[in-house]
Structure 1
């Protein structure tokens, strides 16, 4: 039985022919995402804003304003009620009461009793409390971890390859992170520590895919020193396309199943991961490779200086991507 090949061996797609359109789209999406982050902001979870969160599942959909008024009437502070996806589960956030753990437990008991009394059949999952100081530290540490991860990755690629590769990888990672954050600003899905973990995972996946393409580009630059850069980049992307498609598709199928059938508690994490796989695959083809052209990467960049002169280059065989078998 012949193995199934999603991408034929002789695939010859001129991806970079459309690099200007793809880059214009990427820049537009990045600008829109940044604007959404500043204008709409994020629906920060209790991990980042502090307070007390109660999750309750009703027997049917309830009126959110009415539920919020009933909770506030209990004297526990202003209540923020949000429906979890399109289910009968709701998240109720209230300020953390003064008085420590004892006061928090008392407020949680009051809310629980009121929910069971006013909504027969309601199931209260429990309450979670996070102090303002802890939430501030979590937000700061999450932002620092994302920034340091991206800078360390760019530095690693800079040292391993050429400076153009480092800039290309850093911009691709910024592209992926910006679009993911813009998605959460647009949809107002809850942004908590799970989403930070998802963004870090997206960075790792995108980097892995980008390095695979970069390794093949470097290998082909040493092999075809007279080939035009655009043709060489297209060749490298096509040679790694099978691996990219299989990896992205296999992960995407699993994430899609989790998104549809998985528990609500990981809905945001799964949505972030699935989006990250899509935009990470796009950026490794159209963003990280296209930037190398604009940064004037030369075919002789990896040759010793004495061999990179006119004689060294002229002695290499001219090969065209179109003539490749």
Structure 2
């Protein structure tokens, strides 16, 4: 970490590259979200979920095609941890006992020498799912509004509020785009459920904490170096906080990576979202939030 004892990186020059990278990622994420649509989990879509444990590994595609007819539509079928465990999600409107019997009967016909056991079931009604979806959206919007007001009161400058909230939108949208893009490819569940919403709010808090540390140093340096050019003062502030930002991010990423590897299948989506959030949140604190503050400050000075 000796590289960060007295850093002197030209962040302002890198800001231009960061704006291009962030613009591409944001546009790509928005296109993916609006064309493919958010991949909601059972929490927000409503339906039934079953986890089956087989004595021997089975083919996911074979299970999906065999269940499409009996369940009146192809269900979502994925591996759930070990090769012997299968996660089945369906929006079949039938009673959960009847749906479970249909699934088990089909599996017995498909694999007569490979017995299956139901180890987990879950059900969410459509009205409850809509209430959860609305509540999750309101929670995120309310959090962003409160953050904008908090930053405005603390730093007494709307450019800092806009920079912080803009960086948070940047982080959440990119993570959401990645989840939407890889939801059908990843070997673990990347659907949007309550755990992922909790991860998004955690990402917001982590990214905001990093951003506030940088903004605090900008405010301190603006009072200490009143004659210094604003751009140079921003660059100095970013270098002053670089060591703290990098060390905090690496230690947090290490813990979250351990959680992703050893936390089990249920926590993989949650921990993967946090891994992305730590990386993107650190990047946005250095290259997005401060870049927006510089651009907005210039526009405010010119008006």
TM-score, L = length of structure 2: 0.88
Indicate yes or no: 2:99 matched with 1:107: yes
Please give the alpha-carbon distance, in whole angstroms, between the structure 2 residues aligned to 1:157 and 1:179. Answer: 23
Counterpart secondary structure, 2:59: coil
Instruction: Please list the CA deviations of residues 9-40 of structure 1 after superposition, one character each: whole Å capped at 9, or x if unmatched.
Output: 21111111111111111011111101100111
Preserved contact between residue 206 and residue 281 of structure 1 (Cα < 8 Å): yes
Preserved contact between residue 50 and residue 131 of structure 1 (Cα < 8 Å): yes
1:73 positional shift = 4.4
Counterpart secondary structure, 1:128: strand
Q: Partner of 1:149 in structure 2?
A: 143
Unpaired stretches in structure 2, ≥5 consecutive residues: 184-189
Q: Partner of 1:166 in structure 2?
A: 161
Q: Partner of 1:222 in structure 2?
A: 223
1:7 positional shift = 4.8
Counterpart secondary structure, 1:83: strand
Bigger shift: 76-85 or 125-134?
Answer: 76-85
Bigger shift: 114-123 or 251-260?
Answer: 114-123
Counterpart secondary structure, 1:126: strand
Structure 1 residue runs of 4 or more that deviate by more than 6 Å after TM superposition: none
1:284 positional shift = 0.2
Counterparts of 1:84-163 in structure 2 under 5 Å? 84=79, 88=83, 89-98=85-94, 103-115=95-107, 118-119=110-111, 120-161=114-155, 162-163=157-158
Please give the alpha-carbon distance, in whole angstroms, between the structure 1 residues aligned to 2:235 and 2:194. Answer: 38
Counterparts of 1:1-325 in structure 2 under 5 Å? 5=1, 7-58=3-54, 59-64=56-61, 66-74=62-70, 76-84=71-79, 88=83, 89-98=85-94, 103-115=95-107, 118-119=110-111, 120-161=114-155, 162-188=157-183, 189-296=190-297
Please give the alpha-carbon distance, in whole angstroms, between the structure 2 residues aligned to 1:61 and 1:111. Answer: 14
Residues matched between the structures, number = 289
Please give the alpha-carbon distance, in whole angstroms, between the structure 1 residues aligned to 2:91 and 2:5. Answer: 60
Bigger shift: 249-258 or 211-220?
Answer: 249-258
Max Rg structure: 1
Counterpart secondary structure, 1:225: coil
1:196 positional shift = 0.5
1:286 positional shift = 0.5
Instruction: Please list the CA deviations of residues 229-255 of structure 1 after superposition, one character each: whole Å capped at 9, or x if unmatched.
Output: 121111111111111111110111112
Counterpart secondary structure, 1:77: coil
Counterpart secondary structure, 1:227: coil
